[in-house]
Amino acid sequence: MQLDRTGILLVDQNDGTIKYKIAKVVGFNENNGISLVQDNFLTRYLEKTQKPLVRDELQIIAKDLSNAHERQNFFQLSENMKRIEASLCLPMVISSKLIGIIVLGSKMSGDAYTNEDLTLLNTLSKQAAIAVDNARLYKEVQDFSQTLQDKVDEQTKEIRGQKEKIEKAYAIEKHAHEELKQLDEAKTQFMLVTQHHLRTPLSVNMGFLDLLLKNHYGKLSAKIKRIVLRLSDSTLKEIKVVNELLDVSSYQLGKEIMHLEPEVDIEALLEETLKDLRVEAEKKGIYLKFENQGSVPNISADKTRLKLALTNIIDNCVKYTKAGGVTVTLKTEDDKLLILVKDTGIGISKELISSLFNKTFRRGEQAQKMFAVGKGVGLFLSGKIIESHRGRIWAESAGEDKGSAFYIELPVRAQSQY
């Protein structure tokens, strides 16, 4: 349009009060541009009309106004525009809000603005408003992304800090765990040595007691014989306990202690075990039954240790049953030999059942009430012995006073693998 000057004022939205900043001026003095919007009258007028304001029309509008104050405002605006040589103000409106004003001077040709000019400028100012608003939104999104990035960076830093702390705590815990493990091994080693040293004199005692009983040192009187028999009986029991504890320590240290025989008759082994325990069951007035469901093949086993495992389990069933009794069943299932020991006793709680075969010295409350002192290693050892035979052992119980059942599975084939 060949204008002599032009300027764009944008509303600065940073705080609640309306402020303008000069976005661009050509020909105008910057301060003059700002002076136009100082009293807010122009802003309110453009926001209301949303149309281009032509300076020459201001005088005409003002003349028709009855309100003196209003009239004064129009005159004042007209004067201001004249002073800075502005001819036209175009509103930039978005959603009925004024976001800026385009101020134009005169055409260099000296001609007035035509109606077509005004229509064109009106369209232009509307599009400019949309463009400016989009640019603002874009900047807001960019600022927001930056804020988000800053937050993410901050949190990443925090997480990194936490990770370092966790890693440190983990290292301390690992170290403590190693120390505990070493202490535990040292304790087991100590027990192993102590038990060895206990067993030697006990075996020597047993040897001498045997010689005494065989009249090696002269014939014993009936009274002395009775005493020596009791001594030998309790020494034998003590040797058994020490042997059991020695086995437990060995298993805890991962030592191999099995002495396998190729053809062990499990049925005979069970009969033998039950014979030893029947006396105790009869004393308590409970039954101890053996049910053999068909013939079973011989298997490779450490006879002494397997008998010890079976004794521990069946003995427990007799021990923890007050009425009713214990049934032992033997059968083959596919390529497995299954021994089931079932009692009608005090039952086992869920908590205890899960750690029955992998922890030592854990005893049920009821069991402690019945027998204040127990070895607390019987089932641990039985479990290890069965595992060493590549078998499986587990227990089931419906709960307190609902009886218990122990299942032992031993492989029949693949014996050559041992």
Least Cβ distance, residue 192 to ligand ADP (angstroms)? 19
* Interface segment toward ligand ADP; rule CB under 6 A; list 33-41, 55-63, 112-120, 312-320: 312-320
For ligand ADP, give the closer residue by CB, 45 or 406.
406
Q: Cα separations (Å) of 238 from 202, 232, 235, 318, 382?
A: 8, 10, 5, 21, 19
Q: By rule CB under 6 A, what count of residues binds ligand ADP?
A: 20
Least Cβ distance, residue 209 to ligand ADP (angstroms)? 27
Q: Does 376 bind ligand ADP (CB under 6 A)?
A: yes
Question: Would you tell me how many other CB atoms lie within 10 Å of the CB of residue 289?
Answer: 12
Least Cβ distance, residue 179 to ligand ADP (angstroms)? 28
For ligand ADP, give the closer residue by CB, 116 or 351.
351
User: Cα(219)–Cα(224) distance, rounded to whole angstroms?
Assistant: 10
DSSP for 335-351, written as a single string = TEEEEEEEE-SS---HH
Burial of residue 359 (CB within 10 Å: 0-12, 13-18, 19+) is middle
Closest of 208, 398, 418 to residue 306, by C-alpha: 418
Least Cβ distance, residue 188 to ligand ADP (angstroms)? 17
Please, are residues 363 and 349 in contact by the beta-carbon 8 Å criterion? no
DSSP for 239-307, written as a single string = HHHHHHHHHHHHHHTT------EEEE-HHHHHHHHHHHHHHHHHHHT-EEEEEE-S----EEE-HHHHH
For ligand ADP, give the closer residue by CB, 71 or 363.
363
Q: Does 386 bind ligand ADP (CB under 6 A)?
A: no
For ligand ADP, give the closer residue by CB, 192 or 377.
377
User: Cα(190)–Cα(20) distance, rounded to whole angstroms?
Assistant: 89
For ligand ADP, give the closer residue by CB, 34 or 405.
405
- Residues contacting 384, CB < 8 A, separation 6+: 247, 248, 251, 357
Least Cβ distance, residue 281 to ligand ADP (angstroms)? 13
Q: Which of 312, 344, 388, 415 binds ligand ADP (CB under 6 A)?
A: 312
Find the helix packing angle between 222-252 and 303-319, rounded to 10°. 100
Copy the structure tokens of residue 49. 């009309």
For ligand ADP, give the closer residue by CB, 62 or 370.
370
- Residues contacting 197, CB < 8 A, separation 6+: none
Least Cβ distance, residue 363 to ligand ADP (angstroms)? 3
Question: Residue 373, by phi and psi: left (phi above 0), alpha (psi -120 to 50) or beta?
Answer: beta
Q: Does 308 bind ligand ADP (CB under 6 A)?
A: no
For ligand ADP, give the closer residue by CB, 80 or 312.
312
For ligand ADP, give the closer residue by CB, 52 or 347.
347
Least Cβ distance, residue 311 to ligand ADP (angstroms)? 10
Least Cβ distance, residue 309 to ligand ADP (angstroms)? 11
Least Cβ distance, residue 404 to ligand ADP (angstroms)? 4
How is the beta sheet containing 287-292 ordered, strand by strand? 287-292, 325-333, 336-343, 404-411, 392-397
Q: Does 343 bind ligand ADP (CB under 6 A)?
A: yes
* Interface segment toward ligand ADP; rule CB under 6 A; list 44-52, 120-128, 285-293, 339-347: 339-347
Q: Does 247 bind ligand ADP (CB under 6 A)?
A: no
90-119 positions binding ligand ADP, by CB under 6 A: none
Q: Does 345 bind ligand ADP (CB under 6 A)?
A: yes
Copy the structure tokens of residue 282. 């009869």
For ligand ADP, give the closer residue by CB, 196 or 322.
322
Least Cβ distance, residue 336 to ligand ADP (angstroms)? 22
Q: Does 359 bind ligand ADP (CB under 6 A)?
A: no
User: Cα(391)–Cα(148) distance, rounded to whole angstroms?
Assistant: 60
Which parts of this chain interact with ligand ADP (CB under 6 A)? Answer: 312, 316-317, 320, 343, 345-346, 348, 356, 363-364, 367, 374-380, 404
